[in-house]
């Protein structure tokens, strides 16, 4: 595995313990910016940014996988397939939830 293929986010956990904070949000954000990463402060105890952090990382991985597939010279899209757009996931009322 190559680090060039790794997808990462910087996560500051236990943001609910403000009195025990060692690094400020601004310092952590500066490090994340320097490394080209998104920064999230999370708390599992208070359920803060858990899903948002996970979703952001999954999105980054998915984008990299799609990029890798498209660059593969041996990749051939099946004849009857198409690339989905954001609107393809919307149900009849336009809420964006799956219509299955």
What CATH number did the domain enclosing 72 receive?
3.40.50.300
- pLDDT value for 84: 66
The residue with tokens 């498209």 is 70
Domains held by the chain: number: 1
Q: Which residue in 28, 58, 31 sits closest to 42, CA to CA?
A: 28
Residue 100 placed within a domain: no
Residue range 4-30, pLDDT digits in tens: 778 899 999 999 999 999 999 999 999
pTM: 0.64
DSSP letter string, 25-93: HHHHHHHHHHHT--EEE-BTTTTBSHHHHHHHHHHHHHHHHHHHHHH-TT----TT-----GGGG--TT
Domain of residue 45, residue span: 3-89
Residue 97 placed within a domain: no
Residue 99 placed within a domain: no
Residue 96 placed within a domain: no
């Amino acid at each position: 595995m190559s680090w060039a293929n790794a997808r990462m986010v910087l996560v500051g956990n236990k943001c609910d313990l403000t009195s025990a904070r060692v690094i400020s949000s601004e310092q952590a954000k500066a490090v994340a910016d320097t490394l080209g990463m998104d920064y999230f402060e999370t708390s599992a105890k208070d359920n803060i940014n858990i899903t948002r952090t996970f979703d952001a990382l999954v999105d980054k991985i998915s984008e990299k996988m799609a990029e890798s597939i498209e660059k593969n010279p041996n990749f051939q899209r099946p004849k009857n397939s198409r690339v989905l757009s954001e609107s393809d996931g919307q149900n009849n009322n336009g809420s964006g939830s799956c219509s299955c």
